[in-house]
A and B are shown apart, each in its own frame.
Chain A
Amino acid sequence: MSSAKSVEVSDLDLYYGSFHAVQNVNMTIQPNKVTALIGSSGCGKSTFLRSLNRMHELVHGARVEGSVILEGQDIYAPDVDPVAVRSQVGMVFQQPNPFPTMSIYENVAAGLRLNSRRMKKPAMDEIVERSLRGANLWEEVKNRLERAGSGLSGGQQQRLCIARAIAVEPEVLLMDEPCSALDPVATLAIEELIRELKVNYTIVIVTHNMQQASRASDITGFFNLEESGKPGRLVEIDETETIFSNPANKATEDYVTGRFG
């Protein structure tokens, strides 16, 4: 199986053109833990998440300063290929986005076929099954692997996307509000899955749902804006229990107790 890795973020500043979106983030993301990032809309937590696998730079004019060190290597060093970074750091998005023209099987296998990797059919079958089991989806789809992934329910599609992400055995798994488009039952299924996945992966999840952060995460980081137009900053990061019961910062307390945002 893959080996979870820690991520060391130092003095990270993120920009969209001249707009300073996130200012001076320092944090250590611990292996085999779920780190939740909470904060109001527009505080830069999604932007920060996307900087961890170099998806931030896909936006026209986006820039990054500072360093993100994964396994001793700064992923923003000039000689690092973003394609290689993204195959080490997987991502699950807010809206389930299986490839609509591919079957369930092909969706899970999509990452395995990249970069001209060749793989025999039995080996591929095995990884597809293992990934679908890993995403708690195997029992539901094992008899219709050749059907379109877009025919599944929203929650199943999101688990399919998780299976697709873990099939390439990343070291870190990023999740950008993975449950915000799902109903409560599907949400609980995904949260349970997240707790199981941390055995093998380092997980960072952005969420608007504070119950979700308190249920599913070990560490919680709170992002905030001083005022609109100013860059977002990481106000506080600590054990989830501490953040929700006894935060060090007043703004954090206001946010988690619902007096704000």
Chain B
Amino acid sequence: MSATATEIETLPAVHYLNVNYGWRSWLFTTDHKRIAWLYLVAVTFFFCVGGLAATLMRLNLIEPQGALVEPSTYNRLFTLHGLVMIFFFLAPSIPAVLGNFLIPLMIGARDLAFPRLNLLSWYIFMLGGAVFLYSTLSGGVDTGWTFYTPLSTTYANSSVMSAAMGVFISGFSSILTGLNFIVTIHKMRAPGLTWFRLPLFLWSMYATSIIFILAMPVIAITMVLLMLERFLHVGIFDPALGGDPILFQHLFWFFGHPEVYVLVLPAMGVVSELVATFSRKRIFGYSFVAFSSVGIAALSFLVWGHHMFVSGQSIYTGLIFSAFSFMVAIPSAVKVFNWTATLYKGSISFDAPMLYALGFIGLFTMGGLTGLFLASIAIDIHVHDTYFIVAHFHFIMVGGAVMGYLGGIHYWWPKMTGRMYPQNWARLSALLIFVGFNLTFGPQFILGYYGMPRRYAVYPPEFQVLNVMSSAGASILAIGYFIPLIYLIWSARYGPIAGPNPWGAKGLEWTTASPPPSENFEVIPIVTEEAYAYGAKS
């Protein structure tokens, strides 16, 4: 902890958390910092729902014939898990919680460009979530999160309509958030804060916002078409009605693949901040890292066909999408190399956020390298739709996005609450998550290599050993996720006072009080140096 922490032993007298009280002051707030808390509570709830579904799935898979539930229930569980985690946890996690809290603080502004629109986004998100939860309580959905047609439109006898409606509604929340972020980053930067002085977290938020605005309307359109066919039997996707089932997959993945980068780009931004702070160094090759975010965002719209290598698309279509998929690996690799090079000759400390960041780099590297197997179209033919895919995207989304999210929460928690959590408990949970994660998803790569298909409620007995290993790993992972829930809540009330800049970090958010005042800064700062100017006198 830096010297400033010892000078200030009390919280500021008035800050955004105690400026007023009562449920109205929260549910009608337009303060971006309080809206971030509204999102934090909501996504934590949805994470628990999705996690519970995953727990039941892993328990069921201990026995080849299913230890717990019928296949029809199992199918509902993995659909619930996928939909909740993608649309109601991962997509809003870093952008809507950390992005909301930090963008104005990082650019030296008093709020986002459209504070009331920001609150509206949260209400739209909650409405979508409520409609989706209704679909779960009214019997659940058993189509998989991908809603493939004509299964979803003609054959499934479950609550497809309300689930699709929930996804449709929640998308507008992301569109409005993306719009708000783009305008804010363009128009509200403090004097002197040029584009190339922006922290890399903001570059990744900017790239994410662009994807929100371009991809979310596509899933909205797709859900409308799906509902039209299911409810009114308009022939769009079902060949029996004159439709084309592959058309659905094109539409869905044109949204779906950029969506994957919506989940991981923000985490890359967080990791750039963490690596810089905990090595006390500027990010190696700042402009390469910044432009690789934009490059990934652009290429993400050109790779959707790699989800359809075995769907019967033409040979040449397959080859083109394979080539684009290899191209997206390059900017991802550039990021990993630059983060690693940032450590070189740094001053590295091992506080909990840094452990999450290093864990992210390792797991993202594994996820990225296995992505090369899937881009290699001949290899993909065997491992497509097997546990290899399941393992690969969990390395990116859990090993990547969730590690980044938790690292970010631990890094900015003292800023959000003004108090510090117990470091050793946090280090322990980071370690448990890393170990538990590898034990859960490592065996799934081998299962997929042997050809075990995904979404199987029952499976041939020779796959049991690896499935039991995976379930055992998941129990360690669950403990790792549970511990922070306890010490973070505890620390918000009883933790030691953190002070404005407990990590000795650069960045405008660390120049104001912790927790910040409602208006963020008493005086709008003037920026005279680049991001991560650790060598400069402060």
Q: Do A and B bind?
A: no
Interface residues of A (CB under 8 A from B): none
Interface residues of B (CB under 8 A from A): none
